[in-house]
Structure 1
Amino acid sequence: MFFRSFTMWKTAVRLTPAFSVPIFTAQRNQHDQVLVNSADSIKPKTGWERVKQMYSRSEYEEISVELNTVLQSALSGAFVGGCLGGFVSSRVAYLDFIENNQATIFKSTANAKKRLQDYVTVAFARGAYKWGWRLCFFTGLFSLTATTVSVYRGDTSLIEYISAGALTGALYKINLGLPAVFVGAALGTVLSTAAGLAIIGLLKVTGLSMADIRKALYSVKVAREDQYNQVLEKAATIKNDELTQHHKDLIAETGEISIDDIE
């Protein structure tokens, strides 16, 4: 009996070497590397790889977390610039209309109010367009430059804010000549240094990092999209239920008609 069991075990070991090797050889070869499901094989190691991953889309054709932050910054700048430019321009237009039309004779009070409303509305639209796209462009450029430098370095410091401020200030004065470019770059450097110190100070106090903030903003975007999809799905379900119920009511009133009865 013992000899038969030993023979069966010997045969199993001989026929299944892949099963027997891990048991009797626990040591792994020094040249073996695990590349499947490894975080190190997916995570970029160099600065250029991180930047390339930042500007690449995911497998679901979605932008990266960093570009999502840049996009939100640009849209926020457009909104703030549009509001400020529109409010300031509409106020100036209102005062100009009152001052320039004191001796103007209108057909009626309603006509005067309509002319004033049209004048202020057009001024608001022009001011919102004038300052909206500018603040959107420069906010987006500043955020894109700072984020790219931060991703390349793998850290957050004053370097990305200074470089982004200098580039943005130089481009703002580029149409006024080379001296104005240097002045704009210097002014942008000073302002961005102050803003960078304030941001880094807040990060130190709160114990957060820019990566945490980017992930939080991205999670807000994902949650908003989920809520939007749920609302659409719920609306479609309610609409289909109403149509189905209406169809059932019609059938209950008229009765079912077979195909043979249809002429």
Structure 2
Amino acid sequence: MLRTVTRLTPTFIPFFQARHENDYDFINTRTSKQPETGWERVKMMYARNEHDEFSVELHTVIQSAMSGAFLGAGFGGFVRSRNAYVYFIENNQATIFKSTMQAKKKLQDYVTVAFAKGAVQWGWRLGFFTGLFSTLATTISVYRGDTSLIEYVAAGTITGALYKVNLGLAATMVGAGLGCVLSTVAGMAILGILKLTGVSMDDIRRALHKIKEAREEQMHQAMEKSCEIKNDAITKHHQAILDERGEKKIEEIM
């Protein structure tokens, strides 16, 4: 059984076997021309290619920010709508409504507005700080050309300090310390998983970019197929009209 698991284990996730240097997979493709210095790599990260597309690293940052905003919106909306539901029930028990439908409508409107406020309040904050953390960590990693604990600690410290900067110097220092501790724990966990699986962060970024390209390709194919079906139906209808009425010359129409 162990031999079967070992044999079926993908080469890019070598839990039981090391990746062979000649193994080819789609997450390890590299361009022929590589930047030599850290600043060149950073400039390439924030520059667009000949197709006006973002770099692989910047695409990962954008996806992280969007995921953080989505999770923050869901969490904030759920918490605030739940509190609004409890508050409405507790404070409107003696309120006289014309009907049950009116009471339900008032409750639904109140909860919906609370959900929207909570989603906006938490969504932009978590999205902003997730994007800031990912931007700092990715930029430092690209500049160094390697993934280590340094970029996580630095990004967590700066992000934590900015989160509390409006509360004064003491709160800023506390936020920086808390961000440093949390990012250290998270960074050690991420590096441990990468070490265990034998996959680098650059491999993950390229894999996510390949998934994005595959999704866009599927979308383009679906749109082309839809256009072909639509155009084919129009062509058939046009041909049916010609068969019924016959072709006419331009001179006859004029």
TM over 0.5: yes
Gaps of 5+ in 2: 1-30
**Quick check: 1:116 aligned with 2:97?**
no
Please give the per-residue CA displacement for 1:51-104, whole angstroms capped at 9, x wherever unaligned. Answer: 111111111111110000000000000110010011111111111111111011
**Quick check: 1:86 aligned with 2:77?**
yes
Please give the per-residue CA displacement for 1:146-199, whole angstroms capped at 9, x wherever unaligned. Answer: 000001111111100000000100000011001110000000000000000000
Aligned to 2:46: 55
Deviation at 1:253, TM superposition (A): 2.2
Deviation at 1:251, TM superposition (A): 1.8
Aligned to 2:158: 167
Aligned to 2:228: 237
Hey, what's the Cα distance between the residues in 2 that align with 1:254 and 1:117?
A: 59
Aligned to 2:19: none
Letter in 2 for 1:85: G
Aligned to 2:242: 251
Query: What secondary structure, in the 3-state scheme, does the structure 2 residue paired with 1:239 have?
Result: helix
Hey, what's the Cα distance between the residues in 2 that align with 1:118 and 1:170?
A: 38
Letter in 2 for 1:177: G
Aligned to 1:191: 182
Deviation at 1:262, TM superposition (A): 1.8
Higher relative contact order (CA 8 A, sep 6+): 2
Aligned length: 224
Letter in 2 for 1:229: H
Letter in 2 for 1:127: G
Aligned to 1:20: none
Hey, what's the Cα distance between the residues in 1 that align with 2:111 and 2:153?
A: 39
Please give the per-residue CA displacement for 1:19-38, whole angstroms capped at 9, x wherever unaligned. Answer: xxxxxxxxxxxxxxxxxxx9
Letter in 1 for 2:213: V
Query: What secondary structure, in the 3-state scheme, does the structure 2 residue paired with 1:260 have?
Result: helix
**Quick check: 1:156 aligned with 2:147?**
yes
**Quick check: 1:73 aligned with 2:73?**
no
Letter in 2 for 1:190: V
Gaps of 5+ in 1: 1-37
After TM superposition, the score normalised by the length of structure 2 is: 0.86
Deviation at 1:256, TM superposition (A): 2.0
After TM superposition, the score normalised by the length of structure 1 is: 0.83
Hey, what's the Cα distance between the residues in 1 that align with 2:102 and 2:246?
A: 61
Aligned to 1:126: 117
Letter in 1 for 2:184: T
Give % identity: 66
**Match among 187, 196, 208 for residue 199 of structure 2:** 208
Consecutive aligned runs of 4 or more in structure 1 exceeding 3 Å deviation: none
Deviation at 1:257, TM superposition (A): 2.2
Letter in 2 for 1:100: N
Query: What secondary structure, in the 3-state scheme, does the structure 2 residue paired with 1:261 have?
Result: helix
Aligned to 1:141: 132
RMSD (Å) for aligned C-alpha atoms: 1.1
Letter in 2 for 1:258: K
Query: What secondary structure, in the 3-state scheme, does the structure 1 residue paired with 2:249 have?
Result: coil
**Match among 207, 210, 226 for residue 217 of structure 2:** 226
